[in-house]
Amino acid sequence: NNDNVKVNDVQLLPNKSAYVCGTTKNAAGNKDVAFIAKISASGSKELEKTLESDDGEDFAEFQRIYADGTNIWVVGINKPNQSAVAAYNPDIILCKYVEAANGLSATLGFQKGYAGISGSTRADEVTSIIKYSDTRFIIGGFTNTNSSNPYDAFIASIDTSGNFAIKRKISSQNLSEKI
């Protein structure tokens, strides 16, 4: 649905092509879906993929993108909880797409969902993804704390299968923290 596009991140490549990610509506216009797209140096859309959530509030949004060769990593949020427990939304999603050799299509390698980075009754937001090594990526963001200082930052190392290697919360007694 090209009438409801929100771009959250862009990665420009040396050849002047770009990967973008964000959210849009599905064709029926009744669900928010996450998307990635590749734009050529001349401005043509070379590929586009969407990811829908059929849980809770039917919402998915990619917030950050990192292209590494033919691997396209995206992180974002979904809202899997029904409105009665919507305060526990959103949760974090991570997807890895693998681009075809001709650069004109991509397949979903895997998707992971992470709920409760800091507890099962917390809303999680992701704000960054970066490659740390050939076997690790780092994601960062923040989670609410249901307190007067509402946010704690988090940083997590994930392997190339999307599994946590380690995660840490960053908090202080009297302040909010965000990455």
Least confident interval from 34-38, 70-74, 173-177: 173-177
Quick one: pLDDT at residue 87? 65
Q: Which two tokens stand for residue 126?
A: 């992701």
Q: Residues 82, 83, 86, 89: what is their CA dihedral angle, to the nearest 10 degrees?
A: 50
Nearest CA-CA partner of 144 in 82, 87, 76: 87
Mean pLDDT of 59-83: 91
Q: Do the beta carbons of residue 177 and residue 151 sit within 8 Å?
A: yes
- Each residue of 103-147: pLDDT tens digit? 999 999 999 988 766 566 677 888 999 999 999 999 999 887 766
Q: How confident is the model at residue 62 (pLDDT cuts 50, 70, 90)?
A: very high
Quick one: pLDDT at residue 149? 73
Q: Which two tokens stand for residue 72?
A: 């396209």
Least confident interval from 17-26, 80-89, 127-136, 157-166: 80-89
Quick one: pLDDT at residue 79? 85
DSSP E strand boundaries for 13-170: 18-25, 32-39, 45-51, 60-68, 71-78, 91-99, 106-114, 124-133, 136-144, 151-159, 164-170
Q: How confident is the model at residue 4 (pLDDT cuts 50, 70, 90)?
A: confident
